[in-house]
């Protein structure tokens, strides 16, 4: 009968096996179809008539054997996952065991099927690792933003102290003090926005508000380039969306471009590329030195590279979590970079003509 069953199961393109339960309750393999033999890289001589403990040995065999005993004891079909050495390497398999009983209700056979889920298990582990890493990063950002608020308040306080009884001699020192206070104030606002975003990141509903995109860009420019060393332009529009998300993405991209600029007069343009009823696509283009390969590969593939920096990692994760996309490429001969990203939002009104960052007073240029 076993020969007939084996012949039949050999036509099944999946691992199938049968265990006979001996009089003393020991499950031993009696049938192992060809597909199962190929998957396990074993022969009938090494499998048939033996228990899982004898075949696989060690903790692998013991775990599989205990699963067989559990199904015999319960008399119920069971699906479980365990690690087994297949083809000489540990692999994860998902097995379903169905008991067969005799007229007295005693389990006399176990019929099982298995599939290799190693790739699925690796994906789970990567996802768990990703959640751990991102959780730690979010906690770090929250703590960093919280700790930075006090120094920014102190900078503003120092600027106010410097202004008191300061004699203006027309050499631009007063304007510098005003600039210091203005940058500290705007930085404190951005830090508070990031902190609020980090604290509410696990919330099921994002805060969608109307906001002035041009004013947002101006604020970012004032903080990152207060002396107007670079030429930053953007489109002006009224939007409805998650303002903090747009602010975080743009601030990171603009800051990255300025930090890696090859010269002190970077040309950077923030342009509207495309929009639908519920999604806005924006392009950030500059004439700097472009992205290094690690950052380029990270943004394109989503794989975490330590060289890419937390800023780019956070940007991609924030966008992906909201159903948006991001892509990056370098210009010809790495003449600058072009980053496109999309986020949920609605354009209420657009002013096509580009706006340039407001220049500082003449005394400061």
Please indicate, yes or no, whether residues 200 and 220 belong to a single structural domain of this protein.
Answer: no
In a domain, 38, yes or no: yes
Q: Looking at residue 171, which CATH number applies to its domain?
A: 1.10.287
State pLDDT tens for residues 280-330: 999 999 998 877 765 555 555 554 444 444 467 778 878 888 899 998 888
Structure tokens at 143: 């703590």
Please indicate, yes or no, whether residues 250 and 305 belong to a single structural domain of this protein.
Answer: yes
Q: Looking at residue 299, which CATH number applies to its domain?
A: 3.30.565.10
Please indicate, yes or no, whether residues 13 and 38 belong to a single structural domain of this protein.
Answer: yes
Q: Which carries the bigger pLDDT value, residue 203 or residue 231?
A: 231
Please indicate, yes or no, whether residues 165 and 288 belong to a single structural domain of this protein.
Answer: no
Please indicate, yes or no, whether residues 328 and 239 belong to a single structural domain of this protein.
Answer: yes
CA distances from 50 to 32, 99, 119, 354 (A): 11, 18, 29, 78
Quick check: 351 pLDDT over 60? yes
- The answer for residues whose C-beta is within 8 angstroms of residue 94's C-beta and 6 or more apart is 79, 80, 81, 114, 115, 117
In a domain, 67, yes or no: yes
Q: Which carries the bigger pLDDT value, residue 359 or residue 122?
A: 122
Average pLDDT score, the chain:
81
Please indicate, yes or no, whether residues 86 and 140 belong to a single structural domain of this protein.
Answer: no
Please indicate, yes or no, whether residues 108 and 148 belong to a single structural domain of this protein.
Answer: no
Which of 109-113, 114-118, 180-184, 301-305 reaches the highest mean pLDDT? 109-113
Domain that holds residue 63: 2-116
Q: Kindly state the helix (H) or strand (E) to which residue 6 belongs, with its residue range.
A: helix 2-9
Q: Which carries the bigger pLDDT value, residue 355 or residue 302?
A: 355
Angle at which helix 173-199 crosses helix 118-163, to 10 degrees, equals 150
- In this prediction, residue 31 carries a pLDDT of 92
State pLDDT tens for residues 158-205: 777 777 777 777 777 878 888 787 777 777 766 666 665 555 454 445
Quick check: 112 pLDDT over 80? yes
Please indicate, yes or no, whether residues 217 and 351 belong to a single structural domain of this protein.
Answer: yes
- In this prediction, residue 202 carries a pLDDT of 45
3-state SS, residue 213:
helix
What does the pLDDT average to over 65-80?
94
Q: Which carries the bigger pLDDT value, residue 53 or residue 313?
A: 53
Torsion sign (Cα): 350, 354, 355, 357? positive
Please indicate, yes or no, whether residues 90 and 150 belong to a single structural domain of this protein.
Answer: no
d(CA 250, CA 356): 16
Q: Which of 169, 204, 239 is the last residue of a domain?
A: 204
Minimum mean pLDDT among 206-210, 311-315, 335-339: which range?
311-315
Q: Which of 204, 225, 250 is the last residue of a domain?
A: 204
- In this prediction, residue 353 carries a pLDDT of 64
Question: Number of C-alpha atoms within 13 angstroms, CB side, residue 292?
Answer: 10
Please indicate, yes or no, whether residues 220 and 363 belong to a single structural domain of this protein.
Answer: yes
Tally of domains in the chain: 3
In a domain, 121, yes or no: no
In a domain, 288, yes or no: yes
Please indicate, yes or no, whether residues 200 and 210 belong to a single structural domain of this protein.
Answer: no
């Amino acid at each position: 009968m076993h020969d007939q069953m084996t012949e039949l199961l050999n036509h099944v393109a999946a691992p199938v096996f049968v265990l006979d339960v001996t009089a003393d309750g020991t499950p031993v393999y009696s049938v192992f179809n060809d597909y199962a033999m190929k998957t396990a890289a074993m022969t009938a001589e090494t499998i048939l008539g033996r228990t899982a403990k004898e075949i696989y040995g060690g903790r692998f065999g013991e775990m599989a054997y205990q699963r067989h005993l559990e199904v015999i004891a319960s008399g119920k079909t069971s699906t479980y996952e365990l690690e087994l050495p297949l083809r000489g390497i540990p692999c994860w398999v998902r097995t379903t065991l169905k008991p067969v009983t005799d007229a007295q209700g005693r389990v006399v056979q176990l019929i099982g099927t298995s599939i290799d889920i190693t790739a699925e298990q690796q994906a789970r582990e990567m996802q768990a690792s990703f959640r751990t890493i991102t959780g730690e990063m979010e906690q770090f950002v929250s703590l960093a933003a919280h700790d930075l608020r006090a120094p920014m308040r102190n900078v503003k306080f120092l600027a106010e102290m410097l202004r008191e009884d300061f004699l203006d001699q027309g050499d631009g020192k007063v304007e510098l003090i005003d600039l210091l206070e203005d940058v500290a104030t705007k930085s404190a606002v951005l830090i508070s926005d990031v902190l609020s975003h980090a604290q509410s990141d696990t919330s099921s509903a994002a805060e969608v508000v109307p906001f002035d995109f041009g004013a947002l860009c101006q604020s970012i420019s004032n903080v990152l380039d207060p002396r107007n060393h670079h030429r930053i332009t953007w489109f002006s529009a009224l939007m409805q969306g998650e303002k903090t998300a747009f602010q975080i993405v743009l601030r990171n991209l603009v800051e990255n471009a300025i930090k890696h600029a090859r010269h002190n007069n970077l040309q950077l343009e923030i342009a509207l590329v495309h929009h639908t009823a519920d999604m806005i696509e924006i392009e950030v283009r500059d004439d700097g030195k472009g992205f290094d390969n690690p950052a380029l590969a990270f943004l394109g593939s989503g794989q975490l590279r330590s060289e890419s920096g937390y800023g780019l990692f956070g940007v991609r994760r924030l966008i992906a979590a909201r159903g948006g996309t991001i892509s990056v490429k370098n210009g010809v001969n790495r003449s600058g970079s072009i980053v496109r990203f999309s986020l949920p939002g609605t354009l209420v009104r657009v002013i096509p003509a580009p706006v340039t960052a407001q220049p500082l007073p003449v005394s400061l240029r």
